[in-house]
């Protein structure tokens, strides 16, 4: 499962009468096994005003209810660019982080390599809250450029 992250900006001058802007609809992708469905973010789109996004993962049964069966699945995520949004014109990178939260609300940063596990999902743990947060950006307001990264989710039955 592949996920693309992007940071977009649109500016318009006083002389312009029209300006197009991207609209992002957040939708979860489903990974279906005969016994369960896992939902992961379909697309995450940071903006200058929206620097924290919900990237949670949830486990459902095939009827769309929270999972109550006996299976367990480990979910991990890996970033192509080590949690950096790379500009399409190689102008610069912007760092972002993904933080998973335990039941007590304590966050742990997900990192490449050994720290990339989101969690083990089963009937006792059907959802893990994950926030994606864009770090401080220093892109000039008149510079319009797209930044991207790709996340690869891995699912392993336990």
pLDDT in tens, the chain (158 residues): 444 444 444 434 445 555 544 444 445 666 666 789 999 988 888 887 888 999 999 999 988 899 999 999 999 999 989 998 888 776 778 899 999 999 999 999 998 777 799 999 999 999 999 999 998 766 666 666 778 888 989 888 88
pLDDT at 22: 43
pLDDT at 27: 55
Assess contact for 93 and 87: CB atoms under 8 A. Answer: yes
Q: How far is it, in rounded angstroms, from Cα 62 to Cα 40?
A: 15
Give residues with Cβ within 8 angstroms of 11, minimum separation 6. 141, 142, 144
Q: How far is it, in rounded angstroms, from Cα 66 to Cα 103?
A: 16
Q: How far is it, in rounded angstroms, from Cα 66 to Cα 27?
A: 18
Look at the block and give the residue holding tokens 């102008």. Answer: 91
Reported pTM? 0.76
Q: How far is it, in rounded angstroms, from Cα 6 to Cα 145?
A: 10
Provide the H-helix boundaries in 39-103: none
pLDDT at 14: 46
pLDDT at 141: 64
Q: How far is it, in rounded angstroms, from Cα 109 to Cα 102?
A: 11
């Amino acid at each position: 499962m592949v996920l693309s992250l992007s940071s977009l900006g649109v500016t318009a001058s006083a002389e312009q009468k029209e300006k197009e802007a991207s609209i992002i609809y957040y939708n979860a992708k489903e990974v279906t096994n005969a016994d369960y469905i896992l939902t992961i973010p379909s697309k995450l789109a940071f903006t200058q005003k929206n620097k924290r996004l919900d990237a949670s993962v949830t486990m459902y049964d095939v009827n769309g209810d929270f999972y109550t069966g006996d299976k367990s699945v480990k979910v991990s995520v890996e970033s192509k660019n080590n949690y950096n949004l790379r500009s399409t014109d190689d102008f610069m990178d912007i760092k972002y982080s993904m933080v998973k939260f335990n039941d007590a609300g304590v966050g742990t940063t997900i990192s490449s390599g050994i720290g990339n596990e989101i969690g083990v999902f089963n009937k006792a743990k059907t959802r893990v809250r994950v926030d994606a947060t864009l770090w401080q950006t220093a892109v000039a307001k008149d510079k319009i450029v797209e930044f991207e990264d790709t996340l690869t989710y891995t699912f392993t039955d336990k």
